[in-house]
Amino acid sequence: MALHGNKAAGAKEQEAQQQTDDAQQSGDQNYFDEYAGDGLDGFTQDTVSTAYLGMVQPGSGPTMHGHEPGTWRNSATEENHGKSIELVVLAFKTVWTERSKAPPYNTVGRYDPKSIEVTTEYPKPGTRGFPKMTNPLTGNKVEELFVYACMQKDSPESGVMYFSPTVGSMKTCKQWNAQLRSQRLVSGRIAPIYAFSWKLDLDLVQNPAKPAEQIAKFIRVTRGELLQKEVFLNAFKPQLIAAQNVAMLAAPETSGDTD
């Protein structure tokens, strides 16, 4: 019994020592709180990788690195945001997006509408559909799409991300655009584009081109709350100029995860 008692006492001592070590380690981590953000002032939006908010598609490159299909992904940080993300829109632009003609159909360029020469194939009379544009120099498809400059509501320190949805998500985007342009402030005046946060939801749906397969699609947007004044002034307003930079909004994307 005495031996058993010694073992029990030894185990308690080890547990107490572990708790002490954990507390000391926690203290070491908290020690840097007084230096929070020190040395990071030089990292402006121009000195870091341009971040694109992508929809992870089944079989795309990001799935090979552990990203689940049908989720949101930050191309610069590789952070996965799951099926829903809450954003604040800082700027918006319509662009012509050129994608490579071979899988995984990477985005190879974005241009101002009508700024490059394209050949246009129109639907036959009496049939439904949209005109199909092609870059005659490359043979790549060109689509008129949207680009949103956004920031995460709860993690504005992550910086500006650019969201350029695919054609399959355009219906939801147009519904979102209608809401963005019609929001009112308490005073009754038209709200700026960055006044409210928005929750964006993704889901896997049937691929209309290949019914046996699925694609990730932006299916729903829900308006959140009006930004608090201090949060807007400290976190979002300083990024407005960078977010509205036309060159950045039209920058090409190297990742194919939004196809």
DSSP-assigned letters across all residues of 45-98: GGGSPPEEEEE--TTSGGGGGTPPTTSEEETTT--EEETEEEEEEEEEEEEEEE
Q: What local confidence, expressed as pLDDT, does residue 259 receive? A: 40
Q: What local confidence, expressed as pLDDT, does residue 23 receive? A: 47
DSSP structural state of residue 115: S
Q: Which two tokens stand for residue 240?
A: 């407005």
Identify the bridge partners of residue 52 per DSSP, sorted by sequence position.
162
Boundaries of every domain in the chain: 1-36, 51-249
Region of 85 (left: φ > 0; alpha: ψ -120 to 50; beta: rest) is beta
CA distance 255 to 252: 9
CA distance 245 to 238: 13
Residue written as token pair 């889901």: 203
Q: What local confidence, expressed as pLDDT, does residue 86 receive? A: 97
Q: Which two tokens stand for residue 44?
A: 């402006």
Region of 88 (left: φ > 0; alpha: ψ -120 to 50; beta: rest) is beta
Q: What local confidence, expressed as pLDDT, does residue 131 receive? A: 82
CA distance 153 to 151: 6
CA distance 110 to 249: 8
CA distance 81 to 159: 15
Q: What local confidence, expressed as pLDDT, does residue 196 receive? A: 97
Of 214, 224, 242, the residue nearest 70 (C-alpha) = 214
Q: What is the pLDDT along the chain (259 residues), one digit of tens a residue?
A: 444 455 445 555 666 555 555 545 545 557 666 766 666 666 555 555 678 899 998 988 888 888 999 999 998 889 999 999 999 999 998 989 898 887 767 788 888 899 999 999 988 888 777 789 999 999 999 999 899 999 999 999 888 899 988 888 989 999 999 999 999 999 999 999 999 999 999 999 998 888 899 999 999 999 999 999 999 999 999 988 878 764 455 555 444 444 4
Q: What local confidence, expressed as pLDDT, does residue 42 receive? A: 63
**Max CA separation in the chain (angstroms):** 96
Q: What local confidence, expressed as pLDDT, does residue 45 receive? A: 54
Q: What local confidence, expressed as pLDDT, does residue 214 receive? A: 92
CA distance 153 to 176: 17
